[in-house]
DNA sequence: CTGAAAGCGCTTACAG
DNA sequence: CTGAAAGCGCTTACAG
């Protein structure tokens, strides 16, 4: 606690010679107050640099004006999804800030589900934001069972009964593939995500759509799955080059896999982008810092974070459940 | 709010046929309670999956058990310091979690200082954690003027009157340079940080110490300053190669600058590490994902985060101001 | 060891 | 439009 002498609305009340009810109304811009009294009180508050006690207000209003960002512990160093999650968290923070909500970081342990009760039933948060994870469905059920508002970064599914925000994966796949077609590539391979992954499925559908639209045939030999990690980019690319050494382009569904793929291509004696052009996905910070800057599909992280914030708060206040898809854009750098 | 029927200690009190004072004591493991009553009450609470209202408890105890992590808005995309900050934030979160404290993300706007009052005087946080920034001193003064406990990631300075935690920059500089000496390099250059930067000064002193210990002379021609950004790594390395085309190693004070430096070295027709060995600093995620994995000095982010959490909480509780230096280690990969 | 009461700093019907 | 009072859900001296 600070050292100031004017710390409660009661102190202000005394200074202004009114009741604390009136001070409360003034500071909250209630309609039940004489505008002149209000301005006088506000001036006094201003003059004393008064900040009212928010926890007390929230207790009284039975809300916390705080949202929990659910993340797992990172004992074992960072993976890339973590990086994406951290970048978006920052954007969520700005979004919430504008709405008068705070962002609390919730660290859940691997097989633990108590965080949900611990944070919601204790009144510490009014709702949750989660990145899509393997356990997405389980957590979704957990939260909806306790009637907690929440929003998930990921494609909406019938099993998930909360809000969702996701990038436009279909358009992303189309943009990436059309770019490779436009620059004259003949044999365009596809290095995707896990089969069950809805995002990856849509990106693949985008790839197929663009190919068909361009009158190209779709060759299953040129398609392989990965798991977004570096090693699977390496393995996937090796596999593709074995199956068809003549391929001259590849759309890789994630930036980290793309970096692995580029490594393999270069080690095989081929040049990027001259011999094989590579387009990634996500536009993580590493896409720029990589010493062969990546041409990639940018997820609009700023907008996504803002939408996650806005729609969750809306859901908290009104119960409305929304699903939104955020546009993506192609960023052309050096790799394609 | 959830849908459960047992929501307050009063509900538990009724079920257990005791007063809510007693329930409070039981749940808080007070010594002023009969162990049997305590266990009985705890069992009832457990059975009903009871979570007590933390904001109410905190209001009563006049604390928030919450710490603010001060970060600026990232409207314009991410810089590398941001990445470091985000990684460490995650570690701080785990550390606080173990101490029963929550982590709140505070977004401050560029020239705004109101966040300090807004979060501290309003009782939303009990203290602050900040990354070192150019404005470190100003913020430090702001916070100590309001008597707010805080901790800064950075070298301690007389002007900063709060806790600090920093990596062992001197040892880091020595480790990096000794490695280059050990692998037989003759002309080892130094690409540093800004002159005013204390961390950079210590890393430079480490470089000089290792050189002297090995009986090497220190050649000012082989030393140049940067600002941790990619472009300054590029410019700095060009400068060094012009001044002495024969250099066969360089210790770069930051991973991102190191990536820029490698690019320049390779474009000049030299190979890394065969012709010029490069050691970076920080071991950011990009050090691994880079397609020439970086040999670098790793900051122990996990431990640093934990120490930031522990020492801040200690300072909140006891007022003790601590300064700690965290060990670093050399990670040998491909670039040297 | 236990309970009744006052208090944490706000909000908000209720009465005027 | 304003104030006195009750209440948000806890904690903690105080009295027993």
Question: Is the Cα torsion angle A216, A218, A223, A225 positive or negative in sign?
Answer: positive
First to last CA, chain A: 56
DSSP B47-104: HTT----HHHHHHHHT---EEEEEEE--TT---HHHHHHHHHHHHHHHHHHHTT-EEE
Position B80 pLDDT exceeds 70: no
Q: What is the pLDDT of residues B13-63, one digit of tens each?
A: 999 999 999 999 999 999 999 999 999 999 999 999 999 999 999 999 999
User: What phi-psi label fits residue A198: left (phi over 0), alpha (psi between -120 and 50 degrees) or beta?
Assistant: alpha
Burial of A221 per CB tally in 10 Å (0-12, 13-18, 19+): exposed
A27 touches strand D (CB under 7 A): no
Residue B109: the pLDDT is 81
The answer to whether the Cβ–Cβ distance between B90 and A93 falls below 8 Å is no
- Interatomic CA distance for residues A294 and A78, integer angstroms: 21
In order along its 336 residues, chain A shows pLDDT tens digits of: 445 678 899 999 999 999 999 999 999 999 999 999 999 999 999 999 999 999 999 999 999 999 999 987 655 555 556 677 777 888 899 999 999 999 999 988 878 888 999 999 999 999 999 988 655 678 888 898 889 999 999 999 888 889 999 999 999 999 999 999 999 999 999 999 999 899 999 999 999 999 999 999 999 999 999 998 888 999 999 999 999 999 999 999 999 899 899 989 999 999 999 999 999 999 887 788 776 889 999 999 889 999 999 999 999 999 999 999 999 999 999 999
CA distances (Å), A52 to each of A7, A331, B61, B123, B249, in order? 7, 46, 17, 8, 58
Across the A:B interface, residue pairs with CB atoms under 8 Å apart total: 174
- Predicted confidence band of residue B316 (pLDDT cuts 50, 70, 90): very high
Contact A234, A258 (CB under 8 A): no
Q: Which nucleotide is nearest to B25 (CA to C1')?
A: D11
Q: For position A81, what pLDDT does the model report?
A: 60
Q: Cα–Cα distance between B41 and B39 in angstroms, integer?
A: 5
How far away is chain B from the Cα of A209, in angstroms, using its nearest Cα? Answer: 31
Q: Does the distance separating the beta carbons of B71 and A94 come in below 8 Å?
A: no
Cis omega (within 30 of 0) on the bond before A273?
A: yes
Disruptive mutation site among A12, A107, A142 for chain B (greatest number of B CBs within 10 Å): A107
B9 Cβ nearer than 7 Å to chain C strand: no
The tokens describing B202, both together, are: 């210590």
Contact A122 B52 (CB under 8 A): yes
Q: Are B216 and B209 in contact (CB under 8 A)?
A: no
Tokens of A164: 């969702």
CB of residue A61 closer than 7 A to nucleic acid strand C?
yes
Task: Identify the residues numbered 32 to 91 in chain B whose C-beta atom is closer than 7 Å to any atom of strand D.
Answer: 52-53, 56-57, 59-61
What six digits make up the tokens of B117? 């009052």
* pLDDT value, residue B3: 53
pLDDT digits (tens, 9 = 90+) for A166-187: 999 999 999 999 999 999 999 9
Please count the residues of chain A: 336
pLDDT recorded at residue A20: 93
Cβ of B2 and A259 within 8 Å? no
First to last CA, chain B: 56
pLDDT at B149 over 80: yes
Average pLDDT for B81-107: 87
pTM comes to: 0.91
Which nucleotide is nearest to A28 if distance is taken from CA to C1'? C11
Q: CA A87, CA B76: separation in Å to the nearest integer?
A: 12
Angle, nearest 10°, between helix axes A80-98 and B80-98? 90
Query: Could you tell me the strand order of the sheet in which A102-108 lies?
Result: A323-326, A163-167, A150-153, A127-131, A66-72, A102-108, B102-108, B66-72, B127-131, B150-153, B163-167, B323-326
Region of residue A320 (left: phi > 0; alpha: psi -120 to 50; beta: else): beta
User: pLDDT confidence of B112, banded at 50, 70, 90?
Assistant: confident
* HSE value, Cβ hemisphere, 13 Å, CA-based, for B274: 4
**Nearest Cβ partner for A62 among B1, B4, B103:** B1
Q: Hey, are the CB atoms on A2 and B122 less than 8 Å from each other? A: no
**CA B78 / C1′ C16 distance in Å:** 59
User: Could you give all domains of chain A from N- to C-terminal order, each with its CATH number?
Assistant: 9-60 (1.10.260.40), 66-167+301-327 (3.40.50.2300), 169-299 (3.40.50.2300)
Residue (of A215, A208, A218) closest to A169 by Cα position = A208
Which nucleotides of chain D have an atom under 7 angstroms from any protein CB?
Answer: 1-5, 7-13
Q: How much of chain B exceeds pLDDT 70, in percent?
A: 94
From chain B, the residues in CB contact with A7 under 8 A are 121
Which residues of B fall within a CB distance of 8 Å from A55? Answer: 55, 58-59, 64, 122-124
**Residue B152: pLDDT over 60:** yes
Q: Is B304 a residue whose pLDDT tops 60?
A: yes
The span from the CA of B226 to the CA of B237, in Å, is 10
Structure tokens that stand for B300 in this block:
């122990």
* Whole-number distance in Å between B59 CA and C6 C1': 15
- Spanning CA of B49 to C1' of C3, the rounded length in angstroms is 25
Q: Which of residues 51-70 of A touch strand D (CB under 7 A)?
A: 56, 59-60, 62
Can you give the distance from the CA of residue B21 to the C1' of nucleotide D15 in angstroms? Answer: 14
Strand partners, B70: B106, B130
Is residue A118's beta carbon less than 7 angstroms from any atom in nucleic acid strand D? no
The DSSP secondary structure of A281-299, one letter per residue, reads: EE--HHHHHSSSPPEEEEE
Structure tokens at A283: 């536009």
Strand D contacted by A5 CB (< 7 A): no
Is the C-beta of residue B124 closer than 7 Å to nucleic acid chain C?
no
Question: 3-class SS at A279?
Answer: strand
CA angle, residues A100, A106, A112, in degrees to nearest 5? 145
- Pick the closest to residue B91 from B289, B307, B286, B282 (CA basis): B307
Q: Which residues, in sequence order, are CB contacts of B284 under 8 Å at separation 6+?
A: B80, B83, B84, B87, B255, B256
Q: How far is CA B312 from the centre of its chain?
A: 13
């Amino acid at each position: 606690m600070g050292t100031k002498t004017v710390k409660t609305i009661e102190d202000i009340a005394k200074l202004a010679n009114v009741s604390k009810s009136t001070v409360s109304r003034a500071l909250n811009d209630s309609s039940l107050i004489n505008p002149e009294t209000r301005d006088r009180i506000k001036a006094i508050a201003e003059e004393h640099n008064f900040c009212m006690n928010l926890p007390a207000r929230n207790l009284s209003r039975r809300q916390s004006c705080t949202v929990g960002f659910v993340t797992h512990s990172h004992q074992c160093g960072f993976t890339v999804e973590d990086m994406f999650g951290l970048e978006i968290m920052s954007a969520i923070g700005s979004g919430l800030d504008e709405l008068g909500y705070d962002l609390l970081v919730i660290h859940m342990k691997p097989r633990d589900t108590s965080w949900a009760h611990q944070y919601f039933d204790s009144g510490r948060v009014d709702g949750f934001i989660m990145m899509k994870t393997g356990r997405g469905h389980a957590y979704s059920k957990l939260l909806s069972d306790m009637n907690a508002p929440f929003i998930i970064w990921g494609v909406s599914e019938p099993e998930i009964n909360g809000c969702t925000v996701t990038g436009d994966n279909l358009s992303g796949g189309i943009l990436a593939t059309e770019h490779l077609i436009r620059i004259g590539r003949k044999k365009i391979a596809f290095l995707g995500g896990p089969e069950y992954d809805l995002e990856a499925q849509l990106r693949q559908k985008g790839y197929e759509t663009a190919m068909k639209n361009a009158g190209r045939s779709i060759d299953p030999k040129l398609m392989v799955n990965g798991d977004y990690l570096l090693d699977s980019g390496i393995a996937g690319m090796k596999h593709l080059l074995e199956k068809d050494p003549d391929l001259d382009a590849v759309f890789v569904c994630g930036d980290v896999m793309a970096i692995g793929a580029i490594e393999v291509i270069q080690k095989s004696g081929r040049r990027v982008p001259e011999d094989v052009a590579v387009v990634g996905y996500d536009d993580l910070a590493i896409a720029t810092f990589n010493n062969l800057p990546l041409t990639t599909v940018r997820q609009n992280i700023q907008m996504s974070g803002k939408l996650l914030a806005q729609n969750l708060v809306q859901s908290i206040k009104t119960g409305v459940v929304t699903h939104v898809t955020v546009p993506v854009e192609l960023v052309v750098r050096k790799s394609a």
